Amino acid sequence: MGSRCQIQLHAGRDADAIVRAARDDIERLEHKYSRFRSDSVVSHINASAGDAEGIEVDAETAALLDYADIGHRLSDGLFDVTSGVLRRAWDFRSNRLPTPQQIEALLPLVGWRKVVWERPRIALPRRGMQIDLGGYVKEYAADRVVQLCRGMGARHGFVDLGGDIAVIGPQPEGSPWRVGIRHPRAPQAAIAWVGLSSGAIASSGDYERFMLVDGVRYGHILDPTQGWPVSGLAGVSVIAPQCVVAGTTSTIAMLKGEHAGRAWLAEVGLPHLSVDARGRVSGTIAPETTGPLGAAAPLIAG
């Protein structure tokens, strides 16, 4: 998944077998949907770009594409799985901004509305178009692992895939897991703590992949309509019954920006916390800025 991952279980002598099954399913999903693997489903779809016939996909992939369509509609077009092609212009390790001409050349390849999605067949009409399901496959994997572990008898534990956390059940004595939400401008500090016995928490922000150019921060979350990084919010964390819902909600809020993003979070009504670019905190999760991240927090969201 390109990030630190862990599973913690309290399941007696069955724990090792459950963890192996969970790890196998995570690896299956990574192999199936990684844009870095030439044999993945995503790569096969992208290789078909420009072919009006497109290709047929399996039921699991179809469900993920249906979810991409829902996310696109809920976000007014901002949550767009075709926007990954903009990475051709944005190299966040270079500390160099792309030219307006580079962005303009790629924008015609962006737009979920251009995709022909008629289950089970998908067609990318223009050569060079791509889809990237990385915006929510990690959270989908966390939800799957929770269900798999419960199905195999686990009742206590959690899965943490790169800071997106889904809870299998409370700690063995019944207490919730204590989760520290990372401060977007102080990576070793928690801006808030939450206790989770079920459900999930996911975060989006401009602090994992970014570059500073002339004192301006450019994060990796890109506006698909403009081709440039969004601004206004530095980080958003959301608690939801499913990790994929929490992740989608936090990402859409980032894409909408400070005012519209916070209004979106209030409208959705899930527990959340947002931090704007000036460090101002808002949301329904009470902030707590005094505690460091580390041993005191068995989980770190974000």
**189, HSE (Cβ side, Cα atoms, 13 Å):** 10
**175, HSE (Cβ side, Cα atoms, 13 Å):** 6
Residue 283 buriedness (CB in 10 A; 0-12 / 13-18 / 19+): buried
Distance from C-alpha of 11 to C-alpha of 19, rounded to nearest angstrom: 10
For residue 117, being part of any structural domain is answered with yes
96 and 236 inside one domain: no
172 and 78 inside one domain: no
Q: Domain boundary at 135, 170, 185, which?
A: 135
Q: Find the domain containing 168 and state its range.
A: 137-301
* Residue 207, pLDDT score: 84
- Please state whether the peptide bond connecting residue 120 to the residue before it is cis, i.e. omega within 30 degrees of 0: yes
291 and 144 inside one domain: yes
120 and 189 inside one domain: no
For residue 22, being part of any structural domain is answered with no
172 and 291 inside one domain: yes
* Residue 302, pLDDT score: 62
Q: Domain boundary at 135, 157, 187, which?
A: 135
For residue 90, being part of any structural domain is answered with yes
Q: Are strands 177-183 and 157-161 parallel, antiparallel or unpaired?
A: unpaired
Q: Domain boundary at 85, 117, 135, which?
A: 135
281 and 153 inside one domain: yes
List Cα–Cα distances, 147 to 18, 259, 275, in angstroms.
Answer: 11, 36, 32
SS3 117: strand
Does an H or E element contain 5, and which? Answer: strand 5-9
For residue 8, being part of any structural domain is answered with no
Q: 129 with 2: CB under 8 angstroms?
A: no
For residue 15, being part of any structural domain is answered with no
Name the nearest CA neighbour of 82 among 42, 139, 22: 42
62 and 144 inside one domain: no
Distance from C-alpha of 236 to C-alpha of 183, rounded to nearest angstrom: 10
152 and 208 inside one domain: yes
Tell me which amino acid residue 120 is: P
* Residue 164, pLDDT score: 94
The CATH number of residue 178's host domain is: 3.10.520.10
91 and 182 inside one domain: no
81 and 150 inside one domain: no
CA 67, 22, 235, 200 torsion: positive or negative? positive
90 and 47 inside one domain: yes
- Give Cα 289 to chain centroid, integer Å: 24
- Give one word for 32, left, alpha or beta, with left for phi > 0 and alpha for psi -120 to 50: alpha
pLDDT 10s digit of each residue in the chain, 302 long?
667 889 999 988 899 999 999 999 999 999 999 999 999 999 999 999 999 999 999 999 999 999 999 999 999 999 999 999 999 999 998 889 999 999 999 999 999 999 999 999 999 999 999 999 998 999 999 999 999 999 999 999 999 998 899 999 999 999 999 999 988 988 778 899 999 999 999 999 998 888 999 989 999 999 999 999 999 999 999 999 999 999 999 999 999 999 999 999 999 999 999 999 998 999 999 765 444 444 444 456 66
List Cα–Cα distances, 182 to 91, 139, 140, in angstroms.
Answer: 25, 18, 21
288 and 143 inside one domain: yes
Distance from C-alpha of 265 to C-alpha of 274, rounded to nearest angstrom: 9
The CATH number of residue 98's host domain is: 1.10.3980.10
Number of domains in the chain: 2
Q: 125 with 165: CB under 8 angstroms?
A: no
For residue 286, being part of any structural domain is answered with yes
pTM of the model: 0.93
For residue 29, being part of any structural domain is answered with no
**What backbone torsions phi and psi does residue 123 show, to the nearest 5 degrees?**
-135, 125
For residue 4, being part of any structural domain is answered with no
Does an H or E element contain 177, and which? Answer: strand 177-183
